[in-house]
Structure 1
Amino acid sequence: MTLPPELDTDLQALTQRWVDSPLSDWLAVLPEQLAQGLSEERFGDLPRWREALSQLPDLDVAATHLNRSAVGVSGPVDPEQALQLETALRGLHPWRKGPFDVFGITIDTEWRSDWKWDRVLPGVAPLAGRRVLDVGCGSGYHCWRMLGEGASEVIGIDPTPLFILQFKAIQRYLQQPAIYVLPCRMEQLPRPLRAFDTVFSMGILYHRRSPLEHLMELRDALRGGGQLILETLVVAGDANTVLTPTGRYARMGNVWFLPSVALLAVWLEKLGFTAIETIDVTPTRTDEQRSTSWMTFQSLADFLDPNDPTRTIEGYPAPLRATLSAMAP
């Protein structure tokens, strides 16, 4: 089995970290997952993205910034280096989650993920010294913020190869140990791991055909008493309210169930979670999710009814996001 070059050193490091830990069971299947997750046979754009990654210039880092809205690095850079750097980073378009600031080049991503982090963080148990899993992490923006809060180890998983290489581009300069973004799906993790102190699932639940199965996967990844941070699309209503779109929702074809906050709490309670609390409920705004020069495709403004922004283009309630906290049994 040939491992992707971007992940070979990751596997070596994780083998050393996990060999005598609760994550040792994952090590048994991780090499195959990494090989499949960045396979050029499956993902035809990988050579182009790898070429962009290879064009990143060697630069001296003066300071790293994990606790700023724009995660990144600063240091001396001349105009020629800046042009080479920006060209390489733009070769990894589209950038969805961020923002990042790399030697003065601001990657203005589609999502202002820092706004979500500011809403979520007050309900998160202190991350210092904790092992954290971020499910569906994209390019790893929130993983960096978790590391900045003192987590001892942050593992992000996302099946999209472009996001893995975007993370690698940022890590090229940040060079932080104990943070990894792996091309894996949640359902690929062995069960039960009972290995993580904190698990984040943000923007994933509504993409799952079986939301309760996803919640069980999250529960089984947590140690007893570990914290789940669950952020998802919801609708207004009582404990019996759930929206099942008959077609697309906000032009997304893979949206299955949008429960009310009350029903979401019922689901968590039925699966054994305790101390269930609502951290935040916020409508998604077009200044939080929008097209930029770093993500030039359609975004939220194109998915809403132009005559009634409280409805999606299909006539459903516009996106409303809730974040809940719960403790694993």
Structure 2
Amino acid sequence: MKRHYDSFWSHLNDTRLQHWKSELPPLIDEALHPEGNGNLPRWLDALQIINAFPSNQTYDLEQSAIRVGEALSPEDTEKLTAALKALHPWRKGPFNIHGIEIDTEWRSDWKWDRVHPHLASMEGKRVLDVGCGSGYHLWRMAAEKPKLAVGIDPSLLFLSQFLTLKHFIGEEVPAYFLPLTLEQLPVSQKGGAFDTVFSMGVLYHRRSPIDHILELKNQMTPGGELVLETLVVPESFGQLLVPEDRYAQMRNVWFLPSVEELSIWMRRCGLQNVRCVDLNQTSIEEQRPTEWMEWNSLESFLDPNDHNLTVEGYPAPLRAVMVANKPK
């Protein structure tokens, strides 16, 4: 896993991220410590099998299912499929790896189709994806030809899934995954270094959403763009929902504001040009169990008699995409 960063450090030279070359290695070493996750040996075994297949394959990052490689022999297909399934559950995707269709829990391409039309150009820029999961959206960002695309997520399973794609795609695409949280990312005294910062599906998991927005802002260059996607409540519900216990069976959901309330939070944090560019209720076609994610999914968390409500009686998941800019 550490070899993933061999080519990363050169991208930081002569930038506001140069200090990461000395500050990140100990953080990464701690995150990758084998005693930190009992599943890590199994995932590493799967990666060893995957890495035995040739790298630097043909790829297409612009299609709904990110595609790498060509179809294999039946024997190799069976071997690779078993290794990929050892990285279960696959939540964000879809992917097509050497002809093997990975039908993930989330149709993350649907979210990208809602977000992408509203983005400023990322060509030649530096992009940060906070809570990047398997890296599906990070690869879609990389298709826009940024100078550097960095995803962060503390999950070593998600890192393993990302490294699977990275192995087949190779070093040509400057996309990297840091197994860290936003709070762990150092910020230069010279200011943020990323022209576009994404936080999609993270804010409602934060106990202090205001601090999260400020931390995102700190990573942005002056005039940079923030893309914030999160759960909200309908305006008819009121200003804010704080679940008493679980929300859609999730314990780690803290604050669900209305769009208007969220806009106030973002402006209060000093962001400008705050706008909601998409509002969409998640459907059971967009998030569902598959053979690549066999556990319960959204339909199990909704009222069986009314999919506009969660099993707890709260408004069903409604997702807003907010876009804003840091002042120049």
2:57·2:168 contact (CA, 8 Å) conserved in 1?
A: no
Please show how residues 7-46 of structure 1 align to structure 2 within 5 Å: 7-10=2-5, 12-46=6-40
1:189 paired residue number: 185
Counterparts of 1:87 and 1:275, CA distance in 2: 48
Counterparts of 1:197 and 1:300, CA distance in 2: 34
Letter aligned with residue 243 of structure 1: L
The 1:76/1:308 distance shift into structure 2, 3 A limit, reads closer
Deviations 1:270-322 (A, max 9, x none): 11111111110000000000000000011000100111111101111000000
Deviations 1:66-120 (A, max 9, x none): 0000002132511111111111101100001000001110100000000000000
Pick from 249, 252, 276 the counterpart of residue 251 of structure 1. Answer: 249
1:240·1:263 contact (CA, 8 Å) conserved in 2?
A: no
Q: Say which SS state the counterpart of residue 13 (structure 1) adopts.
A: coil
TM-score, normalised relative to structure 1: 0.95
Please show how residues 66-81 of structure 1 align to structure 2 within 5 Å: 66-81=61-76
Counterparts of 1:113 and 1:171, CA distance in 2: 18
1:72·1:100 contact (CA, 8 Å) conserved in 2?
A: yes
1:59·1:77 contact (CA, 8 Å) conserved in 2?
A: no
1:308 paired residue number: 306
Counterparts of 1:217 and 1:26, CA distance in 2: 17
Counterparts of 1:215 and 1:9, CA distance in 2: 29
The 1:301/1:239 distance shift into structure 2, 3 A limit, reads closer
Q: Which runs of 5+ in 2 are unaligned?
A: none
2:260 paired residue number: 262
The 1:308/1:76 distance shift into structure 2, 3 A limit, reads closer
Letter aligned with residue 93 of structure 1: H
1:179 paired residue number: 175
After alignment, is 293-302 or 57-66 more displaced?
Answer: 57-66
Q: Say which SS state the counterpart of residue 281 (structure 1) adopts.
A: strand
1:195·1:221 contact (CA, 8 Å) conserved in 2?
A: yes
Q: Which runs of 5+ in 1 are unaligned?
A: 1-5
Letter aligned with residue 23 of structure 2: V
How many residues align structurally?
Answer: 323
Deviations 1:158-193 (A, max 9, x none): 000000011001111111431101101001112354
The 1:94/1:239 distance shift into structure 2, 3 A limit, reads closer
TM-score, normalised relative to structure 2: 0.95
Pick from 322, 325, 328 the counterpart of residue 323 of structure 2. Answer: 325
Q: Say which SS state the counterpart of residue 224 (structure 1) adopts.
A: strand
1:116 paired residue number: 111
1:133 paired residue number: 128
- CA displacement at 1:35 relative to structure 2: 1.0
Deviations 1:11-54 (A, max 9, x none): x3232221321012333321111112122111111000100111
1:283 paired residue number: 281
1:137·1:156 contact (CA, 8 Å) conserved in 2?
A: yes
- CA displacement at 1:240 relative to structure 2: 6.7
Query: How large is the Cα RMSD of the aligned pairs?
Result: 1.5
Letter aligned with residue 195 of structure 2: D
- CA displacement at 1:62 relative to structure 2: 5.5
Counterparts of 1:157 and 1:238, CA distance in 2: 35
1:49·1:162 contact (CA, 8 Å) conserved in 2?
A: yes
Letter aligned with residue 297 of structure 1: W
Counterparts of 1:143 and 1:62, CA distance in 2: 18
Letter aligned with residue 92 of structure 1: L
- CA displacement at 1:60 relative to structure 2: 6.8
Q: Say which SS state the counterpart of residue 20 (structure 1) adopts.
A: coil
2:142 paired residue number: 147
After alignment, is 217-226 or 271-280 more displaced?
Answer: 271-280
